[in-house]
Amino acid sequence: MSAPLLEVHPGPEMAAAAARSLVGIMLRAVRLRGTAHLALSGGSTPRALFRLLATEEWQARAPWAHCHIWWADERCVAPDHHESNYGAAYSLLLSHLPVQHVHRMRGEVEDPGAAARSYEAELRHVFNLGPMGRPRFDLILLGIGADGHTASLFPGTPALDERRALVTTGWAPVAPHRRLTLTLPVLNRAAEVIFLVSGTDKGPALAQVFATHPAHPPLPAALVRPTRGRVRWLLDAPPP
Ligand code: 6PG
């Protein structure tokens, strides 16, 4: 388990640094295994990255036709709802690319538990996993909330303690409350996790994540420590 890396890339440089990393990781995975698996997050911070990757200059740099696009979490809304993580990624990025393998979480399904189970089944099928297997993503893009949540793993919620399921339901203190999320065991099986962080309101949570003696219980984002992988924190301003 390597120590988290923290990098500061002011303003638009953060999206460019993330884009370079994403393209490098995707190219390497496709070269080695013929495919790459990338999981996206929602929220506002990844949008600059999505817009950049959709530009003519960047479109052809990544082997999108060989990439499987997944989500780290989703809000339980329809894909065309303004709060949909899929909807944002589709309009800003995927609709501009030759992607062929898009695996969205079905936030519109009435029973979130059923949606979580069907996404888990899709993961097990595409990654060709046995009953106890866990998918190893080449890259998972995450964010952090001011409360230290990541994906839709919120402090003090049952989703944070889930250790068997690959996907579970989450509950957010802000609307849309009902969520779907990858679980910690899946996040901690990734080859690479990149946190994209913007906004000074994340300062106190970041201070806790990087504290020598973090408060107990640790914040959800602090629990993302891949056992055979790397975590990088890309910030657009120095931490407090
Ligand atoms: C979501 C996200 C969530 C997000 C953080 C940070 O669906 O909301 O996946 O975990 O990454 O809330 O959001 P911002 O980037 O908007 O600060």
The model's pLDDT over 66-118, given as tens digits with 9 standing for 90+, comes to: 999 999 999 999 999 999 999 999 999 999 999 999 999 999 999 999 999 99
Q: How does strand 101-102 pair with strand 67-71?
A: parallel
**How is 148-160 classified by DSSP, letter by letter?**
S-BTTB-TT-GGG
Closest ligand 1 atom to 153 CA: 10
**pLDDT on residue 183:** 98
Which residues approach ligand 1 with their CB closer than 6 A? 41-45, 73, 75, 85, 143-145, 149-152, 199
pLDDT at position 65: 97
What is the number of the ligand 1 atom nearest to the C-alpha of 143?
A: 11
Over the stretch 178-228, which tens digit does the pLDDT of each residue have?
A: 999 999 999 999 999 999 999 889 999 999 998 877 777 899 999 999 999
Residue nearest to atom 14 of ligand 1 (CA): 43
How far is ligand 1, taken at its centre, from the CA of residue 151, in Å?
7
pLDDT higher than threshold 80 for residue 133 = yes
**Atom 10 in ligand 1: which residue has the minimum CA distance?**
151
Percent of the chain at pLDDT above 70? 99
Q: How far is CA 149 from CA 44, 70, 143, 170, 235, in A?
A: 14, 19, 8, 11, 16
pLDDT digits 0-9 by tens, 25-47: 999 999 999 999 999 999 999 99
Ligand 1 atom closest to Cα of residue 46: 15
Q: State pTM to two decimals.
A: 0.97
| Closest C-alpha among 56, 61, 50, 54 to residue 86 | 50
Closest by CA to 26, choosing from 61, 71, 55, is 61
Which mutation among 41, 75, 157, 193 tests ligand 1's pocket best, with the greatest number of atoms within 8 A of CB?
41
* Spatial distance between the Cα atoms of 140 and 126, rounded to a whole number of angstroms: 17
**Most ligand 1 atoms within 8 A of CB, residue of 144, 177, 184, 235 to mutate:** 144
Whether 132 and 98 have beta carbons less than 8 Å apart is answered as no
